[in-house]
Structure 1
């Protein structure tokens, strides 16, 4: 016969509590029953796992090695049981969240971390989209919560969360920063512009461009890196480039107008707020509190 999962759990309990008596109490077992299971376990393995030092039970070197290998399995089983109990209580197994990629990441992950502390058994499936993809995703109505930039026609259906400021910047050695200020559109069009667009927009054969040379990227992170490396200039989310601005690696362009552009981000729900389940209601509240 092989060892059982329960025997490994009992072994871990003895080590954690430091004694057979306390471990037996935690598992609602008699001390003799627990001691028998661990003796049987060691016989089956052919290895001594525990030794008594004074009044405390401690692992042998072999016991330490084997329990360390078993711990991921024990922890996984504990999570499985916790999730099962959560489902029995009626908690949701999954929440679908769609987030515009311009939404500040530090705020987003603070929200997700706090949610996880309250509902550790509810998984959040997050989909990140670009502004140009927001309307199509919202129309599909496949997610529970949306944090997106909608079209003008859809604004009434959502709640304004915040405005994300984009600022025109270039790498500190970019030729634009050596020209007389202020800079007008007639000057900007001579230099490569870094833009953030969806994959669909990239593939459009007649996409309207606003510079003689446009470099398009489908992620904000890559666009930021392109501007930082001096590939071109562009409007980037100000909150995401604070470190580069503070160090002087990126500098704000002295434009005649349009140095900053504000993009509103809205909250949309797939059902009436009064009818939300506890998990979705908490997620919405955390989002609203954070912004």
Structure 2
């Protein structure tokens, strides 16, 4: 090996500070020792990397090109050292989060961004699930924190977080709009209903159908696209379809009753997996809205 990682770090320090003396001080070295290492580095490479302009050390064109290529390696090594320091302090290396797909994305990622700023060395692994999964199934995912919809076991153990509103909508050109308002259940039953279900529900032949033809989707985005392409009508999460409502592409259905439905979301910490440490506590506070994001 012609050069060492430390020599590239020393070169970067000289460029940052513009001075051999300040760079040597930063690395707790003598100036002569630093100069020797950089001279040796340049001799082995056979390329001049530094030049002195006035009293300031600057990179040569060749030095600029080579140091730029070395930057990803230096940054990765710096990240590695920071991770080791975080582990030494007791910071967790990973946090697993299971989130229902109906949870508002803007709220979620605002909380995660704040968490990342506070604990940049803790990796968050996020898994999305659908509404109907029971706690016994969810716990197979071995998460630290769950943001899921209400089932009996979750409601007993979790913290009620928010209600997500589902709105009955159809595309502006759907045949429903040719009928007189308000629409009755019999009116709706004449057209395909777009439903969001999990894979288990999708395979159940004993499901009760509310329309002449039901189309089931295991992804919210796919269900929204189906309604937006006039395949059918459906109850969709209001936060997800707000731009389509604002543009008038999707219109709320004037129903006799049940035009809006609310699904309760719960936050639950998996205390059986490990103790609630400072990282989990902060994430819970952010997701609960107890800390400013």
Q: Shorter-chain TM-score: what band?
A: over 0.9
- TM-score (normalised: structure 1): 0.93
Match of 1:250 in 2: 250
Structure 1: segments with no counterpart, 5+ residues? none
Q: Is residue 2:210 matched to residue 1:210?
A: yes
Match of 2:84 in 1: 84
Note the aligned Cα RMSD (angstroms). 1.8
Match of 2:69 in 1: 69
- TM-score (normalised: structure 2): 0.93
CA offset at residue 42 of structure 1? 1.3
1:34-183 aligned within 5 A: 34-140=34-140, 142-183=142-183
Q: Is residue 2:14 matched to residue 1:14?
A: yes
Between stretches 229-238 and 129-138, larger displacement belongs to 129-138
Contact kept in structure 1, 2:135 and 2:153, CA below 8 Å: no
Contact kept in structure 2, 1:182 and 1:254, CA below 8 Å: yes
Post-superposition Cα deviations, 1:204-245, rounded to whole Å, max 9, x if no partner, equal 333332211222211111211221222221111111111111
Post-superposition Cα deviations, 1:251-276, rounded to whole Å, max 9, x if no partner, equal 1111111111000000111128xx52
CA offset at residue 106 of structure 1? 0.6
Q: Is residue 2:201 matched to residue 1:201?
A: yes
Contact kept in structure 2, 1:171 and 1:233, CA below 8 Å: yes
Structure 2: segments with no counterpart, 5+ residues? none
**In the superposition, relative to structure 1, how do residues 158 and 26 fare at CA in structure 2: closer, same or farther (>3 Å)?**
same
Contact kept in structure 2, 1:197 and 1:218, CA below 8 Å: yes
Contact kept in structure 1, 2:101 and 2:130, CA below 8 Å: yes
**In the superposition, relative to structure 1, how do residues 43 and 169 fare at CA in structure 2: closer, same or farther (>3 Å)?**
same
CA distance in 1, matches of 2:217, 2:41: 58
Equivalent position SS for 1:131 = coil
Contact kept in structure 2, 1:191 and 1:212, CA below 8 Å: yes
1:228-267 aligned within 5 A: 228-267=228-267
Match of 2:285 in 1: 285
**In the superposition, relative to structure 1, how do residues 74 and 24 fare at CA in structure 2: closer, same or farther (>3 Å)?**
same
CA offset at residue 125 of structure 1? 1.2
CA distance in 2, matches of 1:125, 1:206: 35
Contact kept in structure 2, 1:134 and 1:149, CA below 8 Å: no
